[in-house]
Amino acid sequence: MATYPPMVPRGGRLGLEGAAPRYQRNRRSDLAIWWREIDRGLLAVVLILMALGTVAVAAGSPASARRLSTAKIKLDDLHFFYIHLRWQFLGLIAMFGASMLSRENARRAGIVLGFAMLVGLMLVPVAGFAVNGAKRWLYLGFSLQPSEFLKPAFAISMAWILSWRVRDPNLPVIELCTGLMGMIAILLMAQPDFGSTILFGGVWFVMVLLSGISLKRIGLAGGFGVVGVVLAYMFYDNARHRIDAFLGGGTAYDQVDLAQRTLLSGGWTGSGLWLGTRKLGLPEAHTDYIFSVIGEEFGLLACALIVALFLVLVARVLLRLLDEEDLFTTLAATGLTAQLGGQAFINIMVNLQLFPSKGMTLPLISYGGSSTIAICLGMGLLLAITRRNPYIKRERFSLRQLGLGK
């Protein structure tokens, strides 16, 4: 009869008794590994921006609540602030959950999410509902805006397709990405959502440029972009109205001028929390024009701080990628950063009356449901993709891997 060694660990305890402590040690070990590999500086900047956004929504909430109140229903001044706290809580869960994924699982999650949201974008014209004249939402027991969740997924999916060139430089990855971008642009402009179309196009251009295309193709892409804007102005009413309002002013879009005057009215230090008065005339004080509310109540110095934090976030990611050897990681992280930085740039420029009105929130700052969770999810995926073992020496990435460098 065969005999087996007794399964008694050191210390005399049976194996089953030691299972729970060993599992706990593994969980603690996973968290320790996550904390060691995560970009803690990037995480800190994101959390600081979210904290500043909480204060900013508290400042902008009274203006929007009073504007939307009626004789029958009176909203509390902090109505949107309380709801924003709930969305931020869910966003933090999404961000930390996504950041704990491995790079491979983050890539898979981005691709699956991208496919699902692309289907959702196709369903919007058929089964969606409109808010403020734009049909961008689906109702699935809750309101969902597919284009918001498509933003981080688009960057990851594009990076995945473009990284195929490492295996086979002859694959038509540029053509595939261009076709995907064209389909998304058509679906977005049908909503209409010209601002998001511009943002997706900018992310596409940055990623294609970084993937190593020739100067001839860069020129062609730029030319097609100019032609696209001209055609949009000629045949797309939403784009023409916004561009005309930006160049010559107009009665339908005077909020841009009001936003600039609100932003500058606080001077360098602002009027103080809940002491602003010009914000009461803003149509979307807690979302699109929250940067102007910050300017009025906290001053231009606070606005400069927010701009500096966004610049630090972008620079932090790009510096971390300098010695990255994996093409997918380089492209995905750059695309996610370009999406966040581009959206922040557009929103701030609109508030300064230096860009046509786009109806786009300030990421990590503005109030939002789908947008808040989607942006936090994108930051979580960015943190997951840029995770790295600090004890492994890395080699610099070179375009020679694609056969483009000399």
The string of pLDDT tens digits covering residues 127-166 is: 878 776 678 888 887 788 899 999 999 999 999 999 888 7
Q: What are phi and psi of 131, to 5 degrees?
A: -135, 125
Determine the Cα angle at 333 with ends 331 and 336, to 5°: 105
Q: What are phi and psi of 282, to 5 degrees?
A: -75, 135
Mean pLDDT of 253-267: 78
Q: Which two tokens stand for residue 108?
A: 């898979």
Q: Which two tokens stand for residue 50?
A: 């979210």
Residue recorded with tokens 């688009």: 154
Instruction: Tell me the β-bridge partners of 137.
Output: 129
Q: Are 162 and 181 in contact (CB under 8 A)?
A: no
Strands of 143-144's sheet, edge to edge?
129-131, 134-139, 143-144
Measured CA to CA, the distance from residue 332 to residue 61 in angstroms comes to 35
Mean pLDDT of 171-195: 87
Output the average pLDDT for the chain.
82
Instruction: Tell me the β-bridge partners of 130.
Output: 135
Residue recorded with tokens 């491995």: 102
CA proximity to 405, closest of 167, 157, 169: 169
Considering only residues 26 and 283, tell me which one the structure prediction assigns the higher pLDDT: 283
